[in-house]
Amino acid sequence: MQLRIGMVGAAMTLLLAACGGGASSSSSSAASAASSGGGSTAQATVSVGVLPIADVAPLYLGMKQGFFAKQHLTIVPHALQGGAAVASAVVGGSLQFGFGATANLVLARAHGLPIQFVANGDAAAADSAQAWSGILVRAGSAIKSVSQLAGKTVAANATHGENELALDSILERAGVQPASVHVVALPFPTMPSALSSGQVQAVTEVEPFVSAIRAKGGAVLSPLFEGEQPSQTVAGYFTTTGEIGKSASVVKRFVAAMNQSLDYAQSNPAAVRAIIPTYTSIPASVVAKMKLPVWRATINTSSIQAQEELMQKLHWITSAVPVNELLWSGAKH
C-alpha cells in the first residue's frame, strides 16, 4: 500500500507543479479572446485531451456531425496515453478541456487542484450482460475467481484511479484485502501483451481490449465498473475553474455540443462503430463485436458520491468532495 500512496503523491505533486508553471497554448488564448470579445457566436478553437479508447467516440462524432461547428467551435483533440498526462496538460494550461475518470478528478479536487467536471463522459452498463469493462486473466490461467487474486499482480491504467477503485470494491466483496494485491500501472493498449507474457496475472480492462483478450482465450473473472456499481459515472470532460472564469461562453458552447454528441452516440451505435477505427488503432472487425460504453448527457451524481464513500473507506481521501465543488454549475445532472 505504501507504493500506491507514494505514486499518487508523486502524481499530485506533478499536477500541482503544472498548475503553477504552465503557459497557455495559442488555442487557449484564442478561445479566451473570442469569449471576451465576440459574444456567444465568436469562433473559437478548443484543444481537448483524450485517450485513444472507445469512450471518447462522442467527441469525434460531434465533430463529424457538426454539433461543435454549430456552436462556432473548432475542436482539436490531443490523444495522450494516460489520465495523468491529460490532467497535467489541462491544469498547466496547454489544453482547455480533458477527458478524465471520476476517481482521478475526485482525487485531484481533494488535493486542491482547481478543476471541475463540465460534461459527462461515459457510464457503466446497467447490468453485467452489457458490461464493457472487466477483470480478465489469460487463456489457461489457474485463476478462476476474484477470490484467487490475493498476492497476485494486477494491471490498472493508473494507481489510485477508476480501475483500481472498482477492483478494490470487487476484491472486498470477495473477501480479499485490496492491500494484498499488487497493482501496477500500464496503458490500456499494453495490458493484453503484459497479460499473455505473464508480466501480470490479471488486468482491469475496457473495450476493445476486453474483446481482444477474450478472442485469445482469456476469461472474465468479473465485470469491472459494472461489478462496482452498475450505471455509475465512469468519466467526464473537465476544465479548470480559471478557464471557466475567463472563457465562460466557450465552456457553455462546448458543453452544449458535448451533451448533444453524447445523446447522439447512444442513439446511433452504428455511427460509433464506424468512427472508432478513425482515431484509434482498433480494427473495424474488432469494433463490430465489442460492447460499447453507455453515453448520456446527464451526470449520475449519486454514483459519484458512492465512489467518494468508497475512496474514504480505502483512505484515498479524508473527506468527500461536495458535488457542487466537483461539478461546474452548468453541468447537466
The last residue of a domain, from among 228, 244, 278: 228
Q: Within 13 Å of residue 22, how many CA atoms lie on the same side as its CB? A: 22
Computed on alpha carbons and rounded to an integer, the radius of gyration of the chain in Å comes to 19
Of 21-30, 156-165, 174-183, 314-323, minimum mean pLDDT range: 21-30
Contact 181, 167 (CB under 8 A): yes
Residue 104 lies in a domain: yes
Question: Where does 114-208 have alpha helices with state H?
Answer: 162-173, 191-197
- Angle at which helix 83-92 crosses helix 102-110, to 10 degrees, equals 50
Same-domain pairing of 11 and 105: yes
Domain of residue 284, CATH code: 3.40.190.10
In order of 1, 156, 185, 232, 311, the CA distances from 315 in angstroms are: 11, 19, 19, 21, 6
Instruction: Please check the confidence at residue 31 and state whether its pLDDT lies above 60.
Output: no
Residue 331 lies in a domain: no
Residue 333 lies in a domain: no
Residue 282 lies in a domain: yes
Q: What pLDDT, in 10s, does the model give residues 140-198? A: 999 999 999 999 999 998 888 999 999 999 999 999 999 999 999 998 889 999 999 99
Residue 85 lies in a domain: yes
Same-domain pairing of 115 and 28: yes
Instruction: Please check the confidence at residue 209 and state whether its pLDDT lies above 80.
Output: yes
| 318-320-325 Cα angle (round to 5) | 130
Same-domain pairing of 117 and 36: yes
Residue 265 lies in a domain: yes
Alpha carbon 19 to its chain's center: 20
Same-domain pairing of 72 and 214: no
Same-domain pairing of 191 and 49: no
Q: Find the mean pLDDT for residues 90-108.
A: 94
Same-domain pairing of 224 and 237: no
pLDDT of residue 270: 97
What is the model's pTM? Answer: 0.85
Same-domain pairing of 224 and 96: no
- Total number of domains in the chain: 2
Q: Residue 301 is part of which domain span?
A: 2-124+232-326
Residue 332 lies in a domain: no
The last residue of a domain, from among 164, 194, 228: 228
Of 51-55, 64-68, 69-73, minimum mean pLDDT range: 51-55
- 240: cell is 479548470
Residue 250 lies in a domain: yes
The last residue of a domain, from among 183, 207, 228: 228
Instruction: Please check the confidence at residue 292 and state whether its pLDDT lies above 90.
Output: yes
